[in-house]
Amino acid sequence: MKISVPKGTKDILPEEMKTWRYIEELFTDVCLNSGYGEIRTPVFEYTGLFDRGVGETTDIVQKEMYTFVDKGGRSLTLRPEGTAGIARSYVEHGMASLPQPIKLFYKITAYRYENVQKGRYREFNQLGAEVLGAESPNADVELISLLGNFFSKLDIGDLSLEINSIGCSKCRPAYNDILKEYYRDKIAGMCDDCKRRYETNPLRLIDCKEEKCIAASEGVPYITDHLCEECAEHFSSFRTGLDRLDIDYTLNKRIVRGLDYYTKTVFEFISENVGTQGTVCGGGRYDGLISAIGGNDVPGVGFSMGVERLIMELESRNLLPGTERIPEIYFVTVGEKSYAYARKISCALRKADVYTEMDLLDRSVKAQMKDANRKKAKYVVVMGEEEISINKAEILVMETGERKEVSLDSIYKRIIEKKV
């Protein structure tokens, strides 16, 4: 029986990997240039980290985690996102005692048991960044401007940014009471998820996508009108910071995000090209996360974006990079001696970062020439036993068809010095 990839996962083949590498390298450069250091944490963590970090009332924890018991009887979970693991690492490595803030970025795979559809997978990739230990809205602004820089370099600088503030542990409880009051006579007609969340996390009722729930939320009071002084001031400074950098945004009072750890700033970059979800990138502030997982009271803010969705966005705008690699030189050989000679030069050139190609299938000269053409090699060096014996080889300039005879000894030097 043929075995295929598990549902919701996919192979990324060499052609596509070029785009991935391009995106990942660009992201790495943008992050390094803003003083962020790369971090890698394990693919699986103790389940309790996500229960406490992401939140027991979230869809992720309740329905979507890949949880298993290992042979030692421990409950482990494949990470559904990266922030909780990074917060754990921050606490575990005593990063709070280092000069603050700690600025980190990451490239990870994440796992959620979701309904698979366009732009929604069970294994997906995220690029993200986190700032730990900075309470100031300047950190929130820095992250958004880093993203703006990254998107501009990809030529998608016009992605829509939507922002909101969802308050903190001081103002949220009172607002939750206001919400419950508002929904009290509507909840019976809302979906089962909303009924469950009414008690545990009423904020999420606002962004339910079910039609009857959207209708019920028509006149809902928004938290932006009920923020405490500190949150209101933080949000206002955040917006001023964006304005000063001429960063366009829309205030979307319905953004509440699907993870429990958020406080104050939340934001999303939206596009209609990336499937029903529409979110290319999401993030926000999580001032209570580190203390919720056993650390001190340390603020945090960050984002992550789905690489698969980013690629969909680039694809739909015809912006996939032309990153085809073309061999500088293709050695066409006849016989063992010339093959061995060419292999030696080829190895030396590869060491000097020149892309060379050689046959691996004992092909005829004609077939090797065909392969060189197919690979669009710039130059072909033809070597036979006879040429070797008189210290000569023929270089063929593929674009013009021009042929030159050169001495074998000079090939390496000529190619390196581009004097072919």
Tokens of residue 30, six digits = 């943008």
Residue choice 124, 183, 267, 331 for contact with ligand HAM (CB under 6 A): 124
The yes or no reply on residue 139 touching ligand HAM (CB under 6 A) is no
Residue choice 55, 101, 128, 241 for contact with ligand HAM (CB under 6 A): 128
How long a stretch of residues is the chain? 420
Which residue type is seen at 155? D
Angstrom distance (rounded) from CA 125 to CA 103: 20
Tokens of residue 154, six digits = 């990809």
Per-position b or e across 228-250, b if 16+ CB within 10 A of its CB: beebbebbeebbebbeeeebebe
DSSP code for 59 = H
The yes or no reply on residue 89 touching ligand HAM (CB under 6 A) is no
Angstrom distance (rounded) from CA 9 to CA 7: 6
The yes or no reply on residue 151 touching ligand HAM (CB under 6 A) is no
Residue choice 59, 130, 142, 357 for contact with ligand HAM (CB under 6 A): 130
The yes or no reply on residue 284 touching ligand HAM (CB under 6 A) is yes
Quick check: 50 and 41 in contact, CB under 8 A?
no
What's the order of all strands across the beta sheet hosting 379-383?
356-358, 329-333, 379-383, 392-397, 403-407
Which residue type is seen at 412? Y
Q: How many CA atoms lie within 13 A of 143 on its CB side?
A: 32
Q: Taking contact as CB under 6 A, which single stretch among the options 247-255, 275-283, 318-326, 395-403 is the one that binds ligand HAM? A: 275-283
Of 254 and 403, CB closest to ligand HAM: 254
The yes or no reply on residue 162 touching ligand HAM (CB under 6 A) is no
Tokens of residue 389, six digits = 């014996």
Of 82 and 202, CB closest to ligand HAM: 82
| Nearest distance, CB of residue 305 and ligand HAM, angstroms | 5
Quick check: 205 and 306 in contact, CB under 8 A?
no
The yes or no reply on residue 106 touching ligand HAM (CB under 6 A) is no
Phi, psi angle pair for 160, to nearest 5° = -80, 130
The yes or no reply on residue 287 touching ligand HAM (CB under 6 A) is no
Q: Taking contact as CB under 6 A, which single stretch among the options 190-198, 302-310, 359-367, 384-392 is the one that binds ligand HAM? A: 302-310
Residue choice 41, 77, 83, 263 for contact with ligand HAM (CB under 6 A): 83
Of 255 and 381, CB closest to ligand HAM: 255
Instruction: Specify which residues 407 forms β-bridges with.
Output: 392
The yes or no reply on residue 283 touching ligand HAM (CB under 6 A) is yes
| Nearest distance, CB of residue 124 and ligand HAM, angstroms | 4
Q: Taking contact as CB under 6 A, which single stretch among the options 29-37, 226-234, 282-290, 334-342 is the one that binds ligand HAM? A: 282-290
Closest Cα to residue 8, out of 120, 108, 149, 87? 120
The yes or no reply on residue 282 touching ligand HAM (CB under 6 A) is yes
The yes or no reply on residue 309 touching ligand HAM (CB under 6 A) is yes
| Nearest distance, CB of residue 99 and ligand HAM, angstroms | 21
Residue nearest to ligand HAM (CB): 306
Give how many residues touch ligand HAM by CB under 6 A: 28
- Angstrom distances, CA of residue 22 to CA of 18, 79, 133, 311: 6, 25, 31, 11
Quick check: 394 and 404 in contact, CB under 8 A?
yes
Residue choice 45, 59, 81, 142 for contact with ligand HAM (CB under 6 A): 81
Angstrom distance (rounded) from CA 225 to CA 239: 16
> Hey, which bits of 249-344 come out as E strands?
250-251, 263-270, 279-285, 300-306, 329-333
Angstrom distance (rounded) from CA 9 to CA 144: 30
| Nearest distance, CB of residue 383 and ligand HAM, angstroms | 50
Of 19 and 83, CB closest to ligand HAM: 83
The yes or no reply on residue 308 touching ligand HAM (CB under 6 A) is yes
| Nearest distance, CB of residue 282 and ligand HAM, angstroms | 3
The yes or no reply on residue 112 touching ligand HAM (CB under 6 A) is yes
Q: Taking contact as CB under 6 A, which single stretch among the options 80-88, 176-184, 242-250, 333-341 is the one that binds ligand HAM? A: 80-88
- Angstrom distances, CA of residue 417 to CA of 244, 289, 410: 49, 56, 10
Closest Cα to residue 311, out of 43, 82, 125? 125
Residues near ligand HAM (CB under 6 A) are 81-83, 112, 114, 119-121, 124, 126, 128, 130, 258-259, 279-284, 286, 302-306, 308-309
